[in-house]
Amino acid sequence: MIWKTLLENTKGFFSVKIIHPYFKDNVCPYLNVEPDPLTKTIFKKMHLINKSFPGELKIVTEIDETTENNRTIQRPAFTFKKSQHFTFLLKIKDPAFFKVTKLDVSGYPREVLYFSNNSKDGLLSFEKCTVTDGTLSLRFEKGKVPLTLKITGEEKEEIFETTLNKTATEFTYDLSRNKIGVYTLLSGSGKADRIQTQTFYFNPVIRRDPVLGVIDVNVPVNAIVNEDKNSFSVMFEKK
């Protein structure tokens, strides 16, 4: 009876779907999506459940119902104090994926794909991301040394800032005392319109698995439980 009641009070919160036109029904069996170690801990604290399906990961939550403007609104039972980042790893189950996919993987495995829900249409935007198991490192070409470097975390909080000597050849920073997650490196020349950004993902056990990408889903404080609207997609092109 308790289990039945629990099921009745749960609902799909959001989902991440992999779309690949090479395969039947766009379902790619060569990739797998799973929460990273820190996100697994967050799931446990917030009683969130992740369920894997072919080509898709669904996140299920306990719900609370309230009435607003004569409408029934469902929200997660464990509300967020601030916007919450959930980070997932896109892992390769079968290297045959590269044979059927049109994709620039010239920097792989040091550089992977970084997907985030900045787009409003549910399709996750992507860029390149450098993965590290400890040290964030950069090398500079002669004459192209930035004036300043700043490292920020997922919530844009400042982690570190420094000014560089124009003769510098490299920069390193030890992330091992920081939490697992996504970091942004901002390099500036002293002019506001010349700030460049670079995304890093830190995970001390990242090298154990063949990770193709990092998926970063940012959920706002007052998120409504609606799996249709909170359905995010990662799309690939076939060769």
Instruction: Give the span between the Cα atoms of 43 and 78, in whole angstroms.
Output: 10
The tally of domains found in the chain comes to 2
Length of the chain measured in residues: 239
Class of residue 188 by CB neighbours under 10 A (exposed 0-12, middle 13-18, buried 19+): middle
Judge contact between 122 and 232, C-beta under 8 A: yes
Same domain for 219 and 108, yes or no, is: yes
Structural domain of 22:
2-132+206-238
Same domain for 38 and 149, yes or no, is: no
Same domain for 145 and 73, yes or no, is: no
Residue 158: alpha-carbon gap to chain centroid: 19
Same domain for 197 and 213, yes or no, is: no
Residue 133: alpha-carbon gap to chain centroid: 16
Which pLDDT band, with edges at 50, 70 and 90, does 4 fall under? very low
Angle at 179 between CA 221 and CA 79, to 5 degrees: 20
Residue 190 is predicted with a pLDDT of 60
Same domain for 26 and 75, yes or no, is: yes
Q: At 179, which CATH number? A: 2.60.40.3080
Same domain for 164 and 226, yes or no, is: no
Same domain for 92 and 35, yes or no, is: yes
> Which of residues 189 and 239 earns the better pLDDT score?
239
Judge contact between 231 and 122, C-beta under 8 A: yes
Same domain for 148 and 232, yes or no, is: no
Q: What are phi and psi of 218, to 5 degrees?
A: -100, 120
What pTM, to 2 d.p., does this model score? 0.87
Same domain for 77 and 185, yes or no, is: no
Residue 122 is predicted with a pLDDT of 63
- Asked if the peptide bond before residue 109 counts as cis, ω within 30 degrees of 0, the response is yes
Quote the percentage of the chain above a pLDDT of 70.
92
Residue 119 is predicted with a pLDDT of 55
Q: What are phi and psi of 7, to 5 degrees?
A: -65, -35
Predicted confidence (pLDDT) at residue 107 exceeds the cutoff of 70: yes
pLDDT digit string (tens) for 79-106? 777 788 899 999 999 999 999 999 998 8
Predicted confidence (pLDDT) at residue 9 exceeds the cutoff of 80: no
Which pLDDT band, with edges at 50, 70 and 90, does 64 fall under? confident
> Which of residues 229 and 58 earns the better pLDDT score?
58
Residue 76 is predicted with a pLDDT of 84
> Which of residues 224 and 61 earns the better pLDDT score?
61
Same domain for 61 and 105, yes or no, is: yes
Same domain for 126 and 100, yes or no, is: yes
Same domain for 63 and 29, yes or no, is: yes
Judge contact between 75 and 223, C-beta under 8 A: yes
